């Protein structure tokens, strides 16, 4: 294939926005288009997206970025898809219409189904075979909920008329006009329905949740041609698929055992590549598939924090304390500390390492002197404390000491946060020049599949450091602050009562 004038497009379908990013052969970004879409909160702790709006915004940004850059679809060598994971779409394969809104990864509505699975004694089985903990986060219980609550859905599913997919599957199906119903191993490993040892859908889990196998997509590697998308008058191969956190790991080229990254977006996700063998966590992390490439899979340990950058949006949209996410750095830097205030943003329960669907957000340590700056600062600091929680667990599980943390995602633009992160970890934090590593990972996977890039060595020199943050806090102060955080978390846990 000629690489002249050719590009790779990454479609990055995130929790809050859809993005299309064009990369050239040097791995540089030549165009970006982005569109936010509506978040639906029908009840406390519930989160939904309209799958049609997801498709419309994703399609819209693809058209927009081509128009903006003047690149013709015929110049695109391949499309890579990366996506918010776990979010669940069920649609009618005849009409192409979703039978219900997409149930988002953050949604807690299936906590009760999870309690039942635990009572049925499935916890150990789930951990051993899917690598996960029993939690409403993952797709399986969301599919079960749709089949049980949408009128006529179960009957149609049993007649083979309904399809299930995570967002990668939904987009691929739409882009190929219904010709392709696939997912990749990384996304499959987030469903709680996939056996990460046999790399097959897990019959016992399907039975436990009463989900017909006919709804499930075919599971493929993360880098191969899955189908062709019609873009304008051209047919463009879709050649890379990976969940966004795995794509970010790939985009940071953390491809060797022991390499890790932390992504600060809506949530925070710390992943460590553990090589070709799955490592079982005993400290509240999950085992997941990092990527499937060249006939093999690599595994990762993951610590998933449900609310990170989303708490900065909460300061902006719900409390009105800031006008723009970037303002948080200005207000936090106006004070020397939080004046004893801690914010625990457990808006949708807490993920790793606590796994408590009943935790709720809390602010503690308020005194008459507490002001906006302290609350903004405490909210930013919570991102760093939550990352320390998972990093400590990761070090215990892996037996490795991470003396450097590679970071990416929208919130790493915040220098205050990065410095505090380094201080509270006591280790170096390294921010790359290109923080769009998620999209880069999807582009690399697609480019490798079609021979646009021969191998990853061609890309290694493209990753360069923007800034390194070194710890400057005294050990005694660090541990005192962190102990305060742990006490604050205790207040947030198990706040909501089980129905
Ligand atoms: N300067 C900043 N300081 C703190 N948070 C920020 C800043 N800029 C963006 N964010 C947060 O980062 C998130 C957006 O990052 P992004 O990687 O695009 O997320 P996602 O892929 O989850 O949609 C938002 O939640 C936003 O509040
Ligand atoms: O869309 P993001 O970047 O918030 O990522 C969401 C995760 O994939 C959820 O597991």
Residue 12 CA: nearest ligand 1 atom is 21
In the predicted model, what is the mean pLDDT of residues 325-351? 96
Write the pLDDT tens digit of every residue in 22-35: 999 988 899 999 99
Q: Which atom, in ligand 2's list, is nearest to the CA of 267?
A: 4
Per residue in 63-90, pLDDT tens? 999 999 999 999 999 999 999 999 999 9
Any ligand 1 atom below 6 A from CB of 106? no
What separation in Å is there between the alpha carbon of 120 and the centre of ligand 2?
Answer: 29
313 annotated ligand binder: yes
Lowest average pLDDT, out of 228-242, 433-447, 479-493, goes to 433-447
Q: What span, in angstroms and rounded, lies between the C-alpha atoms of 237 and 369?
A: 59
Ligand nearest to the CA of 412: 1
Q: Are 492 and 350 in contact (CB under 8 A)?
A: yes
Instruction: Tell me which residue has its CA closest to atom 5 in ligand 2.
Output: 84
* b/e code 12-50 from CB counts within 10 Å (16+ = b): bbbbbbbbbbbbbbebeeebbbbeebebeeeeebbbbbb
Q: In what order do the strands lie in the sheet with 17-23?
A: 29-36, 17-23, 7-13, 76-83, 234-243, 223-231
Is 266 assigned to a binding site? yes
For range 430-435, the mean pLDDT: 84
Q: Which of 262, 268, 312 for mutating ligand 1's site (highest number of atoms within 8 Å of CB)?
A: 312
Distance 69 CA to ligand 1 centre (A): 25
pLDDT attached to residue 86: 96
Looking at residues 298-311, what average pLDDT do you find? Answer: 95
Q: Does 245 count as an annotated binding residue?
A: yes
**Residue for token pair 């882009």:** 175
Q: Tell me: the pLDDT tens digits for 108-166?
A: 999 999 999 999 999 999 999 999 999 999 999 999 999 999 999 999 999 999 999 99
Nearest ligand 1 atom to the CA of 17 is 23
Task: State the sign of the Cα–Cα–Cα–Cα dihedral 271, 272, 275, 279.
Answer: negative
For the cut 70, the answer to whether the pLDDT of residue 5 exceeds it is no
Does residue 258 form part of some domain? no
Q: Is the CB of 414 under 6 A from ligand 1?
A: yes
Indicate the top mutation candidate among 21, 319, 328, 411 to test ligand 1's pocket, ranked by most ligand atoms within 8 A of CB.
Answer: 411
- How far, in Å, is the centroid of ligand 1 from the Cα of 329? 13
| Structural domain includes residue 363 | no
Token duo for residue 315: 């300061």
**pLDDT tens-digit map of 272-281:** 998 998 998 9
Q: How far is the CA of 379 from the centre of ligand 1 (A)?
A: 13
For residue 85, the CA-to-ligand 2 centroid distance in Å is 6
Cβ atoms within 10 A of the Cβ of 475, count? 9
436 inside domain: no
How far is residue 148's CA from residue 145's CA, in Å, rounded to a whole number?
5
Distance 253 CA to ligand 1 centre (A): 22
- Which CATH number do you get for residue 93? 3.30.420.40
Residue nearest to atom 25 of ligand 1 (CA): 309
Rounded distance between C-alpha atoms, residue 499 and residue 494, angstroms: 13
For residue 291, count other CB atoms closer than 10 A to its CB. 27
Tell me, yes or no, whether 145 lies in a domain: yes
In a domain, 33, yes or no: yes
Global pTM?
0.92
361 is in an annotated binding site: no
Residue 155 lies in a domain: yes
Model-level ipTM above the cut of 0.90: yes
Using alpha carbons only, how large is the chain's radius of gyration in Å? Answer: 22
Residue 278 is assigned to a structural domain of this protein: no
Helices 167-175 and 51-69, packing angle to 10 deg: 60
Q: Cα–Cα distance between 320 and 16 in angstroms, integer?
A: 19
Q: Report whether residue 15 contacts ligand 2, using a CB cutoff of 6 Å.
A: yes
Domain boundaries, position 58: 7-241
3-state SS of 388-444? HHHHHHHHHHHCCCCCEEEEECHHHHCHHHHHHHHHHHCCEEEEECCCCHHHHHHHH
Task: Please say whether the beta carbons of 436 and 462 come within 8 A.
Answer: no
Instruction: Please enumerate, as own/partner, the contacts of 272-277 that have beta carbons within 8 Å and a separation of 24 or more.
Output: 272/300, 272/301, 272/302, 272/394, 272/398, 272/400, 272/402, 273/249, 273/298, 273/299, 273/300, 274/298, 274/299, 274/300, 274/301, 274/398, 275/299
Binning pLDDT at 50, 70 and 90, where does residue 464 land? confident
Alpha carbon of residue 438 to chain centroid: 9
Summarised one tens digit per residue, pLDDT across range 375-400 is 999 999 999 999 999 999 998 988 87
By C-alpha distance, which of 232, 281, 265, 342 is closest to 82? Answer: 265
To the nearest 10 degrees (0 to 180), the angle between helices 372-398 and 475-492 is 100
| Residue 267 Cβ < 6 Å to ligand 2 | yes
If one counts the domains in the chain, the total is 1
- What is the C-alpha to C-alpha distance for residues 245 and 289, in angstroms, rounded to an integer? 11
Sign, CA dihedral 207-276-219-409, equals: positive
Torsions phi, psi for 173 (to 5 deg): -65, -45
pLDDT digits (tens, 9 = 90+) for 161-216: 999 999 999 999 999 999 999 999 999 999 999 999 999 999 999 999 999 999 99
**Which among 10, 11, 13, 15 is the best mutation to test ligand 2's pocket, defined by most ligand atoms within 8 Å of the CB?**
15
Is 114 a domain residue? yes
- What CA–CA distances, in Å, run from 412 to 206, 385, 400, 440? 39, 15, 24, 17
Ligand 1 mutation target, pool 309, 381, 432, most atoms within 8 A of CB? 309
Query: Which residue's alpha carbon is nearest to atom 20 within ligand 1?
Result: 265
The response to whether 422 counts as a known ligand-binding position is no
CA neighbours closer than 13 Å in the CB half-sphere of residue 192: 31
Ligand closest to 47 (CA) is: 2
| Confidence label for 463 from pLDDT (cuts 50, 70 and 90) | confident
φ, ψ (nearest 5 deg) of residue 72? -85, 140
**Ligand 1 pocket, residue 15 CB under 6 Å:** yes
């Amino acid at each position: 294939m000629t690489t002249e004038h050719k590009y790779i497009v990454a479609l990055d379908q995130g929790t809050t926005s859809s993005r299309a990013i064009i990369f050239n052969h040097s791995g540089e970004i030549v165009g970006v288009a982005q569109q936010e879409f509506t978040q639906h909160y029908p009840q406390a702790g519930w989160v939904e997206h309209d799958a049609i709006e997801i498709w419309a915004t994703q399609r819209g940004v693809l058209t927009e970025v081509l128009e903006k850059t003047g690149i013709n679809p015929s110049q695109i060598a391949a499309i890579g898809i990366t996506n918010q994971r776990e979010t669940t779409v069920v649609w009618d394969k005849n009409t192409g219409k979703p039978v219900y809104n997409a149930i988002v990864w953050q949604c807690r509505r299936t906590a009760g189904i999870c309690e039942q699975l635990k009572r049925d004694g499935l916890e150990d089985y789930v951990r051993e075979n899917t690598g996960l903990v029993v939690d409403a986060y993952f797709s399986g219980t969301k599919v079960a909920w749709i089949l049980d609550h949408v009128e006529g859905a179960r009957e149609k599913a049993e007649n083979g008329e309904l399809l299930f997919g995570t967002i990668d599957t939904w987009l691929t199906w739409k882009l190929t006009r219904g010709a392709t119903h696939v997912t990749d191993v990384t996304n499959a490993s987030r469903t709680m329905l996939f056996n990460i040892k046999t790399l097959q859908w897990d019959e016992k889990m399907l039975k436990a949740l009463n989900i017909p196998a006919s709804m499930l997509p075919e599971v493929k590697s993360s880098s191969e041609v899955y189908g062709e998308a019609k873009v304008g008058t051209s047919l463009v191969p879709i050649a890379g698929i990976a969940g966004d956190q795995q794509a970010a790991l790939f985009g940071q080229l953390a491809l060797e055992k022991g390499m890790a990254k932390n992504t600060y977006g809506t949530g925070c996700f710390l992943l460590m590549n553990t090589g070709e063998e799955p490592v079982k966590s005993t400290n509240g992390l999950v085992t997941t598939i990092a990527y499937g490439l060249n006939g093999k899979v690599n595994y990762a340990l993951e610590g998933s924090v449900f609310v990170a950058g989303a708490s900065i949006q909460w300061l902006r949209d719900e409390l009105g304390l800031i006008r723009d996410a970037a303002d948080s750095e200005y207000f936090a830097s106006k004070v020397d500390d939080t004046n004893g205030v801690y914010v625990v943003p457990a808006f949708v329960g807490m993920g790793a390492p606590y796994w408590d669907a009943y935790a709720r957000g809390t602010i503690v340590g308020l005194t008459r002197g507490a002001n906006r700056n302290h609350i903004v600062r405490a909210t930013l600091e919570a991102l760093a404390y939550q990352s320390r929680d998972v990093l400590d667990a990761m070090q215990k599980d892996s037996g490795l000491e991470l003396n450097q943390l590679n970071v990416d995602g929208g919130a790493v633009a915040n220098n205050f946060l990065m410095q505090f992160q380094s201080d509270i970890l006591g280790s170096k934090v390294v921010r790359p020049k290109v923080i769009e590593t998620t999209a880069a990972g999807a582009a690399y996977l697609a480019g490798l599949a079609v021979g646009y890039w021969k191998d990853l060595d061609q890309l290694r020199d493209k990753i360069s450091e923007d800034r390194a943050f070194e710890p400057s806090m005294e050990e005694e102060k660090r541990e005192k602050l962190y102990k305060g955080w742990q006490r604050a978390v205790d207040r947030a846990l198990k706040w909501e009562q089980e129905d």
